[in-house]
């Protein structure tokens, strides 16, 4: 049977779970046709989804077989399109998308979420960097098991190369100071250090640069909003009311500087007893979804309160690395795929990126 119309009708039944549309409407089907008696299909996704390729192949194979096709070959890949920014920083010209991961308050797992999200994007096939912008409490070097005393390689007179760790290009103030040194700096000094890191780090070709923001809504956050052409932001919170209150302030900050908030990640959502499996919402339930709805945003994912997440990050082998086939890693990878899809949709909805401006009240 060589009825291409019937095959297209069959394939259109598949709805991409992250773009919420069929393959043809999303322009994912780049070619489809017969070569002798074999149907050949080429799919190019606009977000990284390497973890779903195997299952997707089986799903599509079943659809075309139901349409009467016996010989079928599909090639699945992805191509990330960069957001078009009105402002650009020379050191960031090779970066396609810049995502700030923020929290209204400390202690909600923002840095752990940032590093696992970055690793999940790598696992899905993307090229990724991470900028540790938490001047007063840098932790990415430890979580990426970068040896103490490791310093960036100079590049010319005023540039430096990011440090590679677990397939991620990384930069942190921790790479420039001695381990344990307290950053006793006033706001302008810290903001100046951040601006220097941004301008002097020569990032390579990246699909995504994750910025692990400091908690709160102060000088450093405003400096980054001014100096970095951010594509979008993600807010991490726990379900408890006090964390949600601060998360709202974080969302409002991004709104003031015209940076889209793609969604909310709820951390420590539920505790599952390791002995009996009993589930308990220690910090409350549904908070992340409520705040996402309040701000016409989206709950990108929920992560459990699990000791493994903490111990694995502390050991320099975050969950996505330590247990790549585990349930926690799959949650992070699902968030990564959804993030990539939302960034693509954001790029499609706007010809140009946000205009970044700060107004002093």
Q: What is the pTM of this model?
A: 0.92
Q: Does any domain span residue 109?
A: yes
> Which pLDDT band, with edges at 50, 70 and 90, does 86 fall under?
low
pLDDT digits (tens, 9 = 90+) for 245-303: 888 888 999 998 899 999 999 999 888 777 887 788 887 778 888 898 888 889 999 99
Domain CATH for 97: 3.40.50.300
DSSP readout, 50-67?
Answer: GGGHHHHHHHHHHHHHHT
- Tally the domains of the chain: 2
60 and 114 within one domain: no
68 and 94 within one domain: no
304 and 284 within one domain: yes
Q: Does any domain span residue 148?
A: yes
Q: Does any domain span residue 20?
A: yes
Query: Which pLDDT belongs to residue 350?
Result: 72
Q: What is the DSSP letter of 105?
A: S
Choose among 122, 168, 104: nearest CA to 141.
168
Six-digit token pair at 193? 């250090």
Cβ atoms of 287 and 264 within 8 Å: the answer is: no
Six-digit token pair at 182? 């307290």
pLDDT digits (tens, 9 = 90+) for 132-170: 998 888 889 999 999 988 999 998 888 999 999 999 999
132 and 163 within one domain: yes
Report the C-alpha gap between 128 and 125 in whole angstroms: 9
Q: Does any domain span residue 360?
A: no
Q: Does any domain span residue 84?
A: no
């Amino acid at each position: 049977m060589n009825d291409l119309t019937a095959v297209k009708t069959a394939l259109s039944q598949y709805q991409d779970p992250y773009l919420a549309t069929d393959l043809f409407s999303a322009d994912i089907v780049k070619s489809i046709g017969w070569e002798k008696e074999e149907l050949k299909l080429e799919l190019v996704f606009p977000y990284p989804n390497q973890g779903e390729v195997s299952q997707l192949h089986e799903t599509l194979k079943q659809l075309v077989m139901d349409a009467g096709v016996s010989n079928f070959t599909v090639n699945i890949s992805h191509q990330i399109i960069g957001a078009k920014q009105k402002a650009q920083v020379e050191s960031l010209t090779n970066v396609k998308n810049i995502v700030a991961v923020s929290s209204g308050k400390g202690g909600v797992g923002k840095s752990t979420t940032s590093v696992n999200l970055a690793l999940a994007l790598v696992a899905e096939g993307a090229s990724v960097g991470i900028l540790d912008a938490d001047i007063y409490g840098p932790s990415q070097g430890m979580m990426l098991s970068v040896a103490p005393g490791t310093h960036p390689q100079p590049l010319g007179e005023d540039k430096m190369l990011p440090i590679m760790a677990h397939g991620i290009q990384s930069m942190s103030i921790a790479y420039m100071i001695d381990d344990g040194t307290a950053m006793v700096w006033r706001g302008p000094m810290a903001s100046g250090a951040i601006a220097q890191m941004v301008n002097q780090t020569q990032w390579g070709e990246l699909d995504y640069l994750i910025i692990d923001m400091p908690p709160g809504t102060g000088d450093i956050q405003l400096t980054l909003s001014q100096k970095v052409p951010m594509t979008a932001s993600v807010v991490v919170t726990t379900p408890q009311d006090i964390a949600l209150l601060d998360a709202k302030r974080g969302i409002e900050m991004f709104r003031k500087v015209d940076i889209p908030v793609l969604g909310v990640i709820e951390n420590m959502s539920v505790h599952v007893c390791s002995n009996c499996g009993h589930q308990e919402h220690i910090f409350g339930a549904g908070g992340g979804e409520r705040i996402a709805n309040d701000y016409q945003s989206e709950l990108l994912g929920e992560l459990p309160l699990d000791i493994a997440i903490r111990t694995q990050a502390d050991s320099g082998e975050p969950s996505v690395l330590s247990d790549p086939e585990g349930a926690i890693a799959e949650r992070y990878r699902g968030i990564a795929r959804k993030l990539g899809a939302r960034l693509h949709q954001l790029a499609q909805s706007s010809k140009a990126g946000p205009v970044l401006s700060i107004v002093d009240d």
